[in-house]
Amino acid sequence: MKFMFFMLFMMPLCLMNSFWLVQFSFFLMFFMFLLNFSYNFMYTGISGFFGCDLLSFCLILLSIWICSLMLMASEKIFKLSNYSQVFLLVMLFLMMSLILTFASLNFFVFYLFFEISLIPTLILIIGWGYQPERIEAGLYLLFYTLLVSLPMMISIFYFYKNFYTLDLSLMLNNLNNLYVYMSMIMVFLVKLPMFFVHLWLPKAHVEAPVSGSMILAGIMLKLGGYGLLRVMKMFIFFGLKFSSLFVSISLVGGFFVSLICIRQSDLKSLIAYSSVAHMGLVLGGTMTLNSWGLWGSLMMMLAHGLCSSGLFCLANIVYERLSSRSIYLNKGLLNIIPSFSLWWFLLCSSNMAAPPSLNLLGEILLINSLVSYSFWSMIFLSLLSFFSAVYSLFLYSYSQHGNYYSGLLSINQGLFREFLLLFLHWVPLNLLILSSENLTLWF
């Protein structure tokens, strides 16, 4: 409740256009929330319909961190006075809806805020996007989610009619109803996004401003993974029956998407497709229904949130200077802006799960989970690991090496704010692995 009031009282700051003060308040809120950590892994801070366990705690922390960094990345909106008060308000509403989604103990309240978080994202894409196609991208995002969310709402009502509770900790009844199973998980599969229902994601990413891309990659995809981890315990019977289908789709789809990545000519599009491949692994790990898969999915979601968001920041930094996101035009950046080449290398290496990043820990856990589920999954897992290295190196080498366009030599070397922004993405990503010995406690 105190964090909700914190954000409500930040509204006057938004209307006063205190851009950096709002950002400082977000960072302050992050450290305040960090103090609420509990080691007993049970629900803490329970009040009304809200409370936190370890899963929601980690994702709320990620939400606050990414939202703080979104403001840092969006200085251009503030400088051009491009409706910056409205932008800050939209950010605040987005933050509130995300925190309430992850902290919900009641399934209907979770569904309500899950859908509400769509509206500020849509406003971000349509209001501050770059090209006229952003309206089409916004409609894709809206209708993909709305089409599958109505059946979920009806299945929530069905559940309440039969079991008289919507409390997440009490929803342990094993429902043997295929329609309810499909309508309950489809909305999360679209949000994740699973291969076959992923087409809204690259479109939304390419048209979104940097803040929109960061929130989509950093948090929105995690809503799908979080929802799946919450509801799968209700569908153990169908989970065991159909999990082989979803694991197959996630692995084969991830492989196909990795091949699509190598054919991309747009920086943002490549990073967006790599998100589909990574979240495919999360889906596979969740569907194996074992503890390796659960913890691997959480690690991968945290790692991907930081890594993908950082890559979108880099793509935006280049776009602000060259006014193009084409991989073929953004060549030879090592000659022009060498100070950013290190960050390109560090984030691309994290994207391909090189040590010591958290991505590596997530992939090790997920690979263990999937190989123990089926020995044959090793074929596509090996292809996925290899091609994730291929497209990450392709992204790095194509953008940093080669002949540069001679008119670009007047570009400035980079601002302190941009280096801080990238530093705050990369350092948590590579320091979190130091506390991974606590996994032995969790297992």
CB atoms near residue 22 (< 10 Å):
21
* Distance between first and last Cα of the chain: 32
Interatomic CA distance for residues 398 and 421, integer angstroms: 23
What contacts 421, CB < 8 A, 6 or more positions away? 69, 72, 73, 313
Taking residues 26-30, what's their average pLDDT?
94
pLDDT tier at 358, thresholds 50, 70, 90: very high
- Kindly list the distances between the CA atom of residue 213 and the CA atoms of 88, 148, 160, 187, in Å, as whole numbers in the listed order: 16, 22, 36, 20
Lowest mean pLDDT among 30-39, 226-235, 294-303: 30-39
Q: Identify the pLDDT of residue 63.
A: 96
Using the predicted structure, report yes or no on whether residue 199 has a pLDDT greater than 70. yes
Which pLDDT score is estimated for 284? 95
Q: How many CB atoms lie within 10 A of CB 284?
A: 30
Is the distance from CB of 284 to CB of 246 less than 8 angstroms? yes
The DSSP call for residue 168 is T
pLDDT band at 439 (very low <50, low <70, confident <90, very high): low
Q: Give the pair of three-digit tokens for residue 380.
A: 């596509």
pLDDT of residue 409: 58
Per-residue model confidence as pLDDT tens digits over 109-160:
999 999 999 999 999 999 999 888 999 999 999 999 999 999 999 999 998 9
Q: What is the DSSP string of 351-405?
A: HTT-TTSHHHHHHHHHHHHHHHH-TTHHHHHHHHHHHHHHHHHHHHHHHHSSPPP
pLDDT at 176: 80
Q: Please tell me the pTM assigned to this model.
A: 0.95
For 52, the enclosing helix (H) or strand (E) is strand 50-52
169: pLDDT strictly greater than 90: no
Taking phi over 0 as left and psi of -120 to 50 as alpha, with beta for the rest, 52 belongs to beta
Q: What is the mean pLDDT of residues 338-345?
A: 92
Crossing angle (nearest 10°) for helices 178-191 and 134-163: 150
* pLDDT in the model for residue 228: 94
User: What sign has the CA pseudo-torsion 254, 361, 110, 73?
Assistant: negative
Quick one: pLDDT at residue 247? 96
Taking the C-alpha atoms of residue 40 and residue 228, their distance in angstroms, rounded to an integer, is 23
Given a cut of 80, is residue 350 above it in pLDDT?
yes
pLDDT band at 168 (very low <50, low <70, confident <90, very high): confident
Contact indicator for 70, 214 with CB cutoff of 8 Å:
yes
pLDDT digits (tens, 9 = 90+) for 210-263: 999 999 999 999 999 999 999 998 888 888 889 999 999 999 999 999 999 999
Between helix 291-322 and helix 358-373 the angle, nearest 10°, is 140
Mean residue pLDDT across the chain: 90
For residue 173, pLDDT beyond 80: no
Mean pLDDT of 326-336: 87
Which of 114-123, 204-213, 334-343 is the least confident region?
A: 334-343
Q: What distance in Å separates the CA atoms of residue 182 and residue 96, rounded to the nearest whole number?
A: 29
Closest CA to 212 of 61, 91, 75: 91
Asked whether the predicted pLDDT for residue 407 surpasses 70, the reply is: no
Angle, helix 377-400 to helix 338-351, in steps of 10 degrees: 180
Please report the pLDDT score of residue 89 as a whole number: 94
State residue 131's pLDDT score: 85
419-435 pLDDT, tens digit per residue, is 999 999 999 999 988 88
Instruction: State mean pLDDT over 95-99.
Output: 95
* DSSP H helices in 164-219: 178-191, 200-207, 210-215
pLDDT-derived band at 49, boundaries 50, 70, 90: confident
Looking at per-residue pLDDT, the higher value among 40 and 304 belongs to: 304
Buried b vs exposed e over 124-154: b needs ≥16 C-beta within 10 Å? Answer: bbbbbbeeeebeebbebbbebbeebbebbee
Q: How confident is the model at residue 100 (pLDDT cuts 50, 70, 90)?
A: very high
**pLDDT at residue 442 in the model:** 58
Q: Where are the domains of the chain?
A: 2-442
The yes-or-no verdict on residue 411 having pLDDT over 70 is no
SS3 for 36? coil
Q: Which residue has the tokens 């709320």?
A: 60
Tokens (6 digits) for 8: 């409500």
Q: What percent of the chain has pLDDT over 90?
A: 70
